[in-house]
Each structure stands twice: as structure tokens, then as C-alpha cells.
Chain A
């Protein structure tokens, strides 16, 4: 049980922002929210993680709702290399339970 809900797929155009939503309505106070992405035939790649506050790094931004029941991964300008499966995972004690993720397609 991945305990998060994501859309099966999303599409975007190159150079446009992408907002990938995730619901985690049963999240506990100690659970972190992690995002990973996976390209075909590769291991997952860490994107970003957070607990309560919004987070930014060179790859993306993570916006966490005030009640922590949902979050949004923001890719500010999508490129073709951002096409991947994006996994939103809530984790305590570091164990990751992968759901089906969101398949992001980026159109040139």
C-alpha cells in the first residue's frame, strides 16, 4: 500500500511548467514526502523531499499543503529529458513504498 494517490499520466509541452499533484491524506506528523523519477531501464533518481515547508532545489520545487494532505511537484520549465515516471512517496524511518507513479510525457 503506497498510501499516496497520483494521476496515472500527465502531458506537457517543452519549456512549460508542470505541476504534478499527489494526495497523501493519511500522512502522519513524522512522514516525509519524497519525490523520485525513473527513466526506462534505469534506477530511480531522487528529485526532492520535504516535511512541512515548501522546498526548492536545482531540479524542482515542492509545494506542501498547509494540512500536509497533499503536495505538488513543480518542474519550472519542462524539457524532453524530464519525461519519466514520477513517484510521490511518504516515508517514515526511510523505507520507500513505490506506487504506480505518474507517467509524464513532454511534447517538443
Chain B
């Protein structure tokens, strides 16, 4: 089956640090990748949609200057949380799909803790 790898699995860092999370589709080319955030006891919330070679589309209320997304190839998208603060601590999850209306395949998530 389709495999999406997300790295790192968890990261703890000091307030003010920028953190980069990678999302790779290992056995298929992903024209579109998605980034979600999930707070404890809550459901996933879509942050942005990333299409290869173009700018990401951010959901309402998500700061594009804070959450930088790069989708430079058909198998890799990155999310950089710039100048992270404790309120950015969350579970970040990416997904990828080869074509529209095909299922999304999710990574195992990155748990980000900002001290």
C-alpha cells in the first residue's frame, strides 16, 4: 500500500526556535500534500494544501508566514514552524495523494513540544 513517511516523529525545542518537518511519499508521486494539526482530545484540522511547484493554499486563520510550506518535488513537502512558541505545541500530520478524489495517505505525525 501507499506509504507516507514523516520526520521527525517528535521534537522538543525552546521557544523562538524554528522547526522543520518533512513529509515524503515513498512509493508514489504526490501531486498534492496536506498538512494538519491536532490538539489533544480534538480532531484533525487542515492547515494548508500544498501542490507541487506552486504556493500552498492556507486555511482561514492559519498564518502563512508562521507556517512555511515547501513542496519542491513530487515526493517531498516540508512544513517549517517559524519562531515557535508554546501555543504551537501540537501533533502535526501530513498526508499525500496521487490524484484528486483518490484517498489520502497519512504520515505517522510529528509531536512538537515547545518549552
| A contact set with B: CB distance below 8 Å | 2, 32, 34, 36, 38, 41-46, 49, 87, 91, 93-101
Of the residues A32, A38, A45, A94, contact of B97 by C-beta under 8 Å: A94
Residues of A contacting B: mostly: loop
Residues of B contacting A: mostly: strand
B95 within 8 A of A: yes
* Given the contacts A94-B32, A94-B97, A96-B34, A46 and B105 also touching, CB distance less than 8 Å: yes
Count of interface residues, chain B, beta-carbon cutoff 8 Å: 26
B108 within 8 A of A: yes
A61 to B22, CA, bound (A): 33
A44 to B38, CA, bound (A): 11
Of the residues B32, B44, B104, B109, contact of A46 by C-beta under 8 Å: B104
Q: Are A93 and B100 in touch, CB under 8 angstroms?
A: yes
Of the residues A34, A44, A94, contact of B106 by C-beta under 8 Å: A44
Q: Are B46 and A32 in touch, CB under 8 angstroms?
A: no
Inter-chain contacts of A87 with B (CB < 8 A)? 43
Of the residues B43, B45, B102, B109, contact of A43 by C-beta under 8 Å: B109
A98 to B102, CA, bound (A): 16
Considering only CB atoms, which chain A residue lies closest to B1 in the complex?
A46
A43 to B5, CA, bound (A): 11
Q: Are A43 and B95 in touch, CB under 8 angstroms?
A: yes
Q: Are B43 and A99 in touch, CB under 8 angstroms?
A: yes
Q: Are B111 and A41 in touch, CB under 8 angstroms?
A: yes
Q: How many whole Å from B103's CB to the nearest CB in chain A? A: 4
* Given the contacts A34-B103, A46-B104, A49-B103, A96 and B46 also touching, CB distance less than 8 Å: yes
B56 within 8 A of A: no
A93 to B32, CA, bound (A): 11
A62 to B108, CA, bound (A): 25
Considering only CB atoms, which chain A residue lies closest to B110 in the complex?
A43
A18 to B100, CA, bound (A): 30
Inter-chain contacts of A45 with B (CB < 8 A)? 106
